[in-house]
Amino acid sequence: MSKLRTSFIALLAVFACTSLAAQSIDLGRGVLPVKVPSSYKSDVPTPLIILLHGYTSSGQSQDSYMGISKLVDNYGFLFVAPDGNREPGGDNNRFWNATPACCDFFNTAVDDSSYVQNIVAAVRADYNVDPARIFLIGHSNGGFMSYRVAYEHSDMIAAIASLAGANHIDDRNPPANPVHVLQIHGTADGTIAYNGDEIRGNRYPSALETVQRWASYNGCSTQGAERELRDLEATIDGYESTALAFKQGCKAGGSAELWTIAGGAHVPNLSESFSQQVVEWLYAHPKPNASWSD
C-alpha cells in the first residue's frame, strides 16, 4: 500500500509539472504558450523574459534561432515568445508597430506596446513574477519594439536587449523611470544599418546614437568605456565583438551598453554562448526597489 501511495503521489507530481509547463494565455491573438522552469515555486518571485521576433518572423521561429527557451530551467525564468499581428495586405507578414521606420507599413496603428504590457499582466495573474526582473529581448523589428515598450512602460521593464534593432529617432523627454538597455549590432548589417539609415523615407538612428540616447535618458555620461571583448558570432574567428558601456553617473536602475559584432550580419550566426551572455547581462541589471503597486 505504501508503494502504491508513493507511486500515486509521484504520478500527481508529474501531472502537475506537465500541466504547469503547458500553461498558456490568450489575449485575443491566439493561444500563447508560457514556458515555466522546473524549479518554479509559487512563493518565490520569478524573472520573466519576453522574446519579440523580427519582421516576417514569429515567436516560435525567433526562439528557434536564438534558443532562449532552452535556458529556462538553467536560469529559472518564465518565458513567452508572442506573435505580432499579420499585415492586412501584401504577404500578410507578422510585424510590430514600433516606430515610423519599423514596421507598421500598412498604418494599422495597432497598440503593440499595450499588448506587451498585457502579456506581463496575464502571466502575473497565474505566476509569481518578480517585479524587479521583467526583461525584453528583441531582434530587428522586435528590437525596435523593445525600445518602445521600455520607453512607454519604464515603470515595468527592468532591462532590454536588442539585436539589430534601433530606438525612435525623434527628440523626446526621458521616460519616467530609468531602464537598462543593451544594443547588439553587426557592422555589416545590410537590413538595419549599424550607422543608421531610413526605411520608406523614415529614418532610424545608428547603434551608437541609440545607446547614447538611452545613456542620456538614464542620466549616464554619454562618454562610454570599453569593456572586454566577446564571442557573439560563430563563424568569425576569435572574440570579434567589442563592448562599450555607459555606466558612469547613471540613475539607479539605468545604464546602456553596445556590443558591436565586427563584420556581423543582420542575422548573425550566433555563438554557442550568445544567448547565455544575453540572459546573464539581463540578470545583472534588475530594477532596484521594484514592487507591485496593486
Write the pLDDT tens digit of every residue in 238-280.
999 999 999 999 999 999 999 999 999 999 999 999 999 999 9
Q: Centre a 10 Å sphere on the Cβ of residue 176 and count the other Cβ atoms it contains.
A: 10
User: 179-210 pLDDT, tens per residue?
Assistant: 999 999 999 999 999 999 999 999 999 999 99
Q: What is the pTM of this model?
A: 0.92
Cα distance between residue 106 and residue 277, in whole Å? 36
Residue 14: pLDDT band (50, 70, 90) is very low
Work out the number of other CB atoms within 10 angstroms of the CB of residue 169.
19
3-state DSSP assignment of residue 280: helix
Position 20 scores a pLDDT of 44
Measured over the CA atoms of residue 278, residue 279, residue 283 and residue 286, the dihedral's sign is positive
Q: Vertex 77, ends 112 and 39: CA angle to 5°?
A: 145
CATH of domain 2-283: 3.40.50.1820
Report the 10 Å Cβ neighbour count for 124. 16
What average pLDDT score do residues 68-95 get? Answer: 97
Beta strands in 140-247 (DSSP E): 159-163, 180-186, 197-199, 202-204, 225-226, 241-246
Tell me the C-alpha distance between 10 and 7, whole Å.
Answer: 5
The mean pLDDT value of the chain amounts to 92
2, pLDDT greater than 70: no
Three cell numbers, residue 233: 558570432
CB 162 within 8 A of CB 183: yes
pLDDT-based confidence at 293, cuts 50/70/90? confident
Residue 154 has pLDDT above 90, yes or no: yes
Place of cell 530609468: 178
